[in-house]
Amino acid sequence: MAGILAGKKALIFGVANERSIAWAVARELHAHGAELAFTYAGEVLEKRVRPLAEGIGSSLVLPCDVTRDDEIESVFEEVGREWGGLDILVHAIAFANKEDLAQPYVETGRAGFHTALDISAYSLVVLTRHAARLMKGRDGAVVTLTYMGSEKVVPNYNVMGVAKAALEASVRYLAYDLGADGIRVNAISAGPVKTLAAAGIAGFRDMLRLAGERAPLKRNVDAAEIGRTAVYLVSELGSGVTGETLHVDAGYNVMGM
Ligand code: NAP
């Protein structure tokens, strides 16, 4: 299947380090032939992201905090200048204040709620709007990362579960808006993976252990499996799929007891 993404240009948001799900997605897209560009959210991260990107032949590495409209505009201007268009957008970004991922959900304050929804859900809308302009006539594809805490109560996931519900609904509305332009928008609902963001959730170790014990496959997923699902969704293999949230969680979500 090597080369199924040959000639495709992909812009990746959300690499913090080599454990990031976005990095696993990037490696798989690259392995299947895509050319990649990356964004990073601060100077500290640039030091981690740039060497990773260069290691797989990418020199287009741009700053972008998704709460900053000016930075978002600059990224897409630069990508348009360098590539003249875009085929794939990977959105693997989420953030909530640490206390909102530990105290009861009922205690969530207005500012924390806005922050989580802005960074974790609205960012998909604004990035997709910009990406769509560069995807005209190119069968574009957008993929984002979500988690089952949007559908069911997962203790401590709290405001992030609410943000992920908004993210998944956004996937459906964006799919509808952009379908006529041949642009597909999908989400991968991943099982727990040990990353920087995951470390911020109180009790994450227990989540990992329980999911591994109870999932039909009797294990957790690894990030490469999520990456390969992304290849399916953004390539011609997934050409009939849009507005979908696809679980890649060793089957955990199908269990009732
Ligand atoms: P990660 O490596 O920590 O990635 C999260 C990324 O979001 C980081 O690159 C982070 O940058 C970025 N981000 C946060 N605020 C940002 C902002 N204002 N502007 C731009 N970027 C910002 O963790 P991950 O687990 O791979 O997370 C990737 C996605 O997968 C998230 O949407 C997450 O919810 C989802 N997911 C994760 C799991 C899991 O178990 N790990 C399961 C299902 C879904 P900074 O480090 O600079 O904040």
Residue 128 lies in a domain: yes
Note the pLDDT of residue 202.
85
Q: Which residue in 40, 122, 157, 176 is the catalytic one?
A: 157
- Measured from the CB, is residue 162 less than 6 Å from ligand 1? no
In angstroms, the CA 162 to CA 203 distance is 18
Residues 6+ apart with CB under 8 A from 90: 10, 11, 12, 13, 14, 22, 25, 26, 29, 143, 144, 230, 234
Whether residue 105 lies in the annotated active site: no
Which structural domain range is residue 50 located in?
9-249
Residue 63 lies in a domain: yes
pLDDT tens-digit profile of 60-104? 999 999 999 999 999 999 999 999 999 999 999 999 999 999 999
Say how many C-beta atoms besides its own lie within 10 A of residue 182's C-beta.
Answer: 15
Q: Give SS3 for 99.
A: helix
Classify residue 16 as exposed, middle or buried by CB count within 10 Å of its CB (0-12, 13-18, 19+).
buried
Residue 130 lies in a domain: yes
Domain with residue 39: its CATH number is: 3.40.50.720
- Measured from the CB, is residue 45 less than 6 Å from ligand 1? yes
Note the pLDDT of residue 201.
86
Phi and psi at 4, nearest 5°, equal -65, -20
pLDDT tens-digit profile of 123-145? 999 999 999 999 999 999 999 99
On the CB side of 248, how many CA atoms lie within 13 Å of its CA?
23
- Measured from the CB, is residue 188 less than 6 Å from ligand 1? no
Mean pLDDT for 167-196 is: 98
What's the CA dihedral at 237, 26, 160, 151 to 10 degrees?
Answer: 20
Note the pLDDT of residue 45.
79
Mean pLDDT for 183-205 is: 94
Confidence of residue 42 (pLDDT cuts 50, 70, 90): confident
Query: Ligand 1 center to residue 95 CA distance, Å?
Result: 7
Query: Ligand 1 center to residue 137 CA distance, Å?
Result: 30
| Nearest to 25, CA basis, from 188, 147, 238 | 188
Mean pLDDT for 5-9 is: 98
Residue 52 lies in a domain: yes
pLDDT at 191 over 70: yes
Query: Ligand 1 center to residue 185 CA distance, Å?
Result: 19
- Measured from the CB, is residue 143 less than 6 Å from ligand 1? no
Query: Ligand 1 center to residue 91 CA distance, Å?
Result: 9
Rg (CA), the chain: 17
Number of domains into which the chain is organized: 1
Q: Which residue in 147, 176, 232, 252 is the catalytic one?
A: 147
Q: How many helices (H) and strands (E) does the chain have?
A: 9, 7
Give the predicted TM-score (pTM) of the model.
Answer: 0.97
Residue 44 lies in a domain: yes
Confidence of residue 2 (pLDDT cuts 50, 70, 90): low
What's the CA dihedral at 19, 146, 142, 172 to 10 degrees?
Answer: 180
Query: Ligand 1 center to residue 94 CA distance, Å?
Result: 5
Note the pLDDT of residue 1.
47
Please identify, by atom number, the ligand 1 atom nearest to the C-alpha of residue 207. 40
Name the average pLDDT for the chain.
96
- Measured from the CB, is residue 195 less than 6 Å from ligand 1? yes
Whether residue 40 lies in the annotated active site: no
Note the pLDDT of residue 44.
79
